Amino acid sequence: MEVWRYRGRSVSEGDLQSVRELIARNPGASRRELSRRLCEAWGWVQPNGQPRDMVCRSFMLGLHRAGLIDLPTVRCTPPNNAVLRPRPQRIEIDSTPVRRTLAELGVLEIRQVRRSLEERLFTSLIAEYHYLGYTRPVGEHLKYLVYAAGRPIACFAWSSAPRDLGPRDRFIGWSVESRRRNIRFIAYNTRFLILPWVNVPHLASHLLGRMAKVISGDWERVYGHPIYFLETFVDPARFRGTCYRAANWVFIGRTTGRGNNAPTRKPRVPVKEILCYPLSRRFRDSLQGEG
């Protein structure tokens, strides 16, 4: 019988008992160590084989706060890296205006730069020129630089999709359990930047089309699984999403304005438009299936 639920996962009395027994068998273990051991015991791993340590720690903390288990006292509080992390170092690049047609721009090279020497350049450009700035991604994510004649002209950032998104979930038609299993097959476009001195008609929609052809293969090489569906948010107070629509992305609804994991049901952030791009005709079968 279900006694608790975490991120769509049903937690039974048997599950709770196994967690309690794990804690009892390891009286000197830290919370981090208990999380690692629970991942091993339950086979709780990411598609790339790494333990779901952060998710497991959050799961156990939720049980503890609900009074269902007793975790050991916190031994240390790690520093908040988001607060302590300095602003990304600015990297100067050639900002000579680029004004030409798409054909005149020549061959475009799209490079996946996460875990490469070019990642610092990506971070610098997003921090300097994107209106939202740079925030460090959490979970699965990829970063891209687009080059023309050896010069960077655009950036893309993709990450794991938000868990709860009503219009998206209704559009796909999946169950809560299917979403829990298969949310990893969706990539969320968190940043798209064409550098301000680049003025090339139709470049943005062209690049979105190019990205749709390469992202699933790149994701599979890094994380061991493909992508079937792309999504993004557009702030209608700032943009119309013209380039996405020109690249055949589909408007499927609006956010609630409550933000991610909102503590109340009241709007607290700007309402965004949700646009999506299925990567295959059978995307619903892939996302509703066993994963």
Average pLDDT over residues 167-183: 94
Strand residue runs (E) in the chain = 2-6, 9-12, 98-99, 108-112, 141-148, 151-160, 186-194, 198-199, 229-234, 250-254, 273-278
Task: Specify the pLDDT at position 2.
Answer: 65
Q: 191-233: per-residue pLDDT in tens?
A: 999 999 999 999 999 999 999 999 999 999 999 999 999 999 9
Query: Of 158, 234, 151, 246, which is closest to residue 206 (Cα–Cα)?
Result: 246
Task: Specify the pLDDT at position 230.
Answer: 98
Q: 88-127: per-residue pLDDT in tens?
A: 888 999 999 999 999 999 999 999 999 999 999 999 999 9
- Domains belonging to the chain, first-starting first, are 2-65 (no CATH), 102-288 (3.40.630.30)
SS3 256: coil
Average pLDDT over residues 166-189: 95
Task: Specify the pLDDT at position 139.
Answer: 86
Of the candidate ranges 31-40, 43-52, 125-134, 210-219, the one whose mean pLDDT is the lowest:
43-52
